[in-house]
Amino acid sequence: MPRPITLCTGQWADLPLEITAKKAKAFGYEGLELACWGDHFDVFQGAKDKRYCEEKINLLAKHGLKTWAISNHLAGQLICDPNNDSRSDGFAPASCAGDADKKRQFGVDSMKAAARAAKNLGVSVVNGFTGSSIWHLLYSFPPTDFKVVEEGYAYFASMFNPILDVFDECGVRFALEVHPTEIAYDIVTTKRVLEALNYRKSFGFNFDPSHLQWQGIDPVKFIEAFPDRIYHCHMKDCAVTLDGTTGILGSHLQFGAAGRGWDFRSLGRGDVDFEAIIRALNAIGYQGPLSVEWEDPGMDREFGAADACRFLQDLNYPIPAGMFDEAFTKK
């Protein structure tokens, strides 16, 4: 069977889940990746109340939808981020605003609750971020003491191992979206993260090609490097628009602004080779969801979400049962 095509609700959390579900079904989706903000899914309530989870499942079923994963990105960012400015205040309750330690503790508690809630919901993957205590050291000036970088990976492991203990207890896996500002943002740093965790099986990745593409990394190489760690897939596109005056770092410009060196695009309308990605996913036997995380600053989101679904429906061909030339020899 082809992989289910779902819509990540993170970019739709301004709408009630009921409305989002109705729209997603009309767009052609088979399910939703539930964001753990807005009214879409509350991990703390889901962790302690199975009836709450059943209500969510029934709401989706009412619209002919299912769920295979939840998204706890925002709270996850707080776990290893320095949390030393106001940008992340909205990722935690108002009582945590401006207090780095309170935000961090909320992130830890939320991620543990997410594992328990996922179990109650009947899904096996929680997607999310980790944050990073060393992202600000990306460019080595002022000169970087690389011992501090090593300490950053050790700090990450010390923060996430107790969280992963809860995931193991629940039989749920955490899938980091490899992404700038996270502890892993490319292939090299992803290998270092696995080493830091001693290759715990409960920790893997939410593959999103867009964040690799604009960095100049071939997304297929990522799949090939971590074939047994792809626990979930985001389908998102981007386009690099370097013209000799634009920069790959974004120039402190908002998405969609003139002068950026790259931007997100609706699926199939950027630089990502999704044909190659589907073939690579077939090669590793990935059968989980293809979840559209729709982001395009130059397109209406309802048009784009429907357009992206059609694009994936045409591309989402199943793994062959056998080689084509077997027909020549079978009797």
DSSP states along 253-280:
--TT-TTBSEEEE-TTSSS--HHHHHHH
> What is the predicted pLDDT for the residue at 325?
58
The confidence band for 320, taking pLDDT boundaries of 50, 70 and 90, is confident
Find the largest Cα–Cα distance for the chain: 73
Q: At residue 230, does pLDDT exceed 90?
A: yes
In the chain, where the domains are located: 5-328
The answer to whether 52 touches 26, Cβ cutoff 8 Å, is no
Q: Which CATH number fits domain 5-328: 3.20.20.150, 3.90.1660.10, 3.30.1160.10, 3.30.450.20?
A: 3.20.20.150
The answer to whether 100 touches 65, Cβ cutoff 8 Å, is no
Angle of helix 146-170 relative to helix 100-121, nearest 10 degrees, comes to 30
Q: What is the pLDDT of residues 245-291, one digit of tens each?
A: 999 999 999 999 999 999 999 999 999 999 999 999 999 999 999 99
Burial 2-18 (b: 16+ CB within 10 A, else e): ebbbbbbbbbbbeeebe
Q: What is the pLDDT of residues 23-59, one digit of tens each?
A: 999 999 999 999 999 999 999 999 999 999 999 999 9
> What is the predicted pLDDT for the residue at 319?
73
